[in-house]
Amino acid sequence: MTDAQTKKPPLSGIRVLELARVLAGPWAGQMLADMGADVIKVENPDGGDDTRAWGPPFVESVLGENLSAAYYHSTNRGKRSIAIDLKTEEGQATVRELAARADVLIENFKRGGLEKYGLDYESLKAINPKLVYCSITGFGQDGPYADLAGYDYIVQGMSGFMSVTGAPDGEPMKAGVAIADIFTGIYAVTAIQAALIHVMRTGEGQLVDMALLDVQAGILANQNMNYLVSGTAPSRLGNSHPNISPYEVVPVADGHIILAIGNDGQFRRLTRILGIEAMADDPLFATNKARVASRAGVRGMVTAETAKWQKADLLEACGKAAVPAGPINSIAEMFDDPQVIARKLRIDLEAEDGTVIPGVRSPIVLSETPLHYHRPSPALGEHTDEILAELRRPETETKGNAG
């Protein structure tokens, strides 16, 4: 056994009850599971998490059995699944028992959706004052949109993100993955861990109120500040950067590469590579401020030269001259990249029947409390009997340890 395998992950002993489906909540749950938390995923017996059916592609067992869609497996590894019908009194009572022994609860029902079952924050706080209750909704617990359902795609549009994404002469464009959901899951984990520290200090749990719109608006970063400082809303620039030039996709003889020129020294070195050194001394292009103002001219002169190069040759030349540049990989090429291989981003988890389910490890690397990946995503209700048996044992044997 390696040293890393003998060390406990950072959230070992923390119990999480996940009443969430699709992406934002399960993404948070998977991150907590990777960090060692015991994450119990509560699923409807009739079909379970919606994403189990979001295929093709579907994962097949060694015997050809459908093990749910690849989408589901992207966000549910490391958890235990219990099948509970929340509409029944028995199911509600079971969830209350689980919540009484949990450190964290994650849910993504519409505002008030769990109140009718007695599973809202105030109800569960009464039986477990230390509970960190994370509610993930589209628009939060207050405001005029609080009762509306929230969808990642719609939030990408509402937040302004799509107004700055896409070609200037094309339609507004969403991201290639559900970034509002994913970032909300990540922010939720940050908030949950902060709340757990508060529990350890005071013994007091709290409600964590996460909203997709809040998160998606917040991550617009420099584009938000560009507007707040200038009063002018940024527009779509395609692959160009609003504050730096040239920082964009450029053509080469056999495709495209990315140039990411972040300062004047890098630009000067680029002009030497391309044989247009005079640009670096021209007042129209000598500084980043000037290049942003003369963006079209910069692009025209630079791309006229990059188009003469083979991709590999230009990337090699840029690398030798410390000019930031990179390829545009397909996902297949990304997994074949030697750096990705060296960092062991791909993981393969084996189910009890011998089926190997691939995945991607968390990007978090900790030297003393390494994350662990010990089980693939669960089958629907796979651990129901196991979890119910734990409830019959004394609470001191199964309670989490945040407090």
Q: From 120, 142, 147, 152, select the one nearest 133 (Cα to Cα).
A: 120
* Superfamily of structural domain 15-219+345-399: Crotonobetainyl-coa:carnitine coa-transferase; domain 1 (3.40.50.10540)
CA distances 344 to 38, 174, 336, 339, 368, Å, are 24, 29, 11, 9, 18
**Which of 7-11, 26-30, 109-113 holds the top average pLDDT?**
26-30
Q: Confidence band (pLDDT; 50, 70, 90) for 122?
A: very high
Beta strands in 286-381 (DSSP E): 325-327, 346-350, 356-360
283-297 pLDDT tens trace: 999 999 999 999 999
* CATH pick for 247-335 out of 2.60.40.790, 3.40.190.80, 3.30.1540.10, 3.20.20.370: 3.30.1540.10
Q: From 208, 203, 14, select the one nearest 102 (Cα to Cα).
A: 14
126-152 pLDDT tens trace: 999 999 999 999 999 999 999 999 999
Which residues 6+ apart lie within 8 Å of 351 measured at CB? 61, 67, 357, 376
Predicted confidence at residue 395, as pLDDT, reads 67
Q: Which residues are the active-site residues?
A: 181
Predicted confidence at residue 54, as pLDDT, reads 95
Domain ranges of the chain: 15-219+345-399, 247-335
149-192 pLDDT tens trace: 999 999 999 999 999 999 999 999 999 999 999 999 999 999 99
Q: Which residue has the tokens 């079909």?
A: 47
Coil, strand, or helix at residue 132?
strand
Q: Which residue has the tokens 């993504």?
A: 108
Beta strands in 22-164 (DSSP E): 38-43, 58-60, 66-69, 80-83, 104-107, 132-137
DSSP, res 163: G
**In the chain, what is the greatest distance between 2 CA atoms, to the nearest angstrom?**
79
* Token duo for residue 275: 């044989």
The model's pTM is 0.91
The sign of the CA dihedral 143, 145, 151, 157 is negative
Range in 263-267, 271-275, 309-313, 396-400 the model is least confident about: 396-400
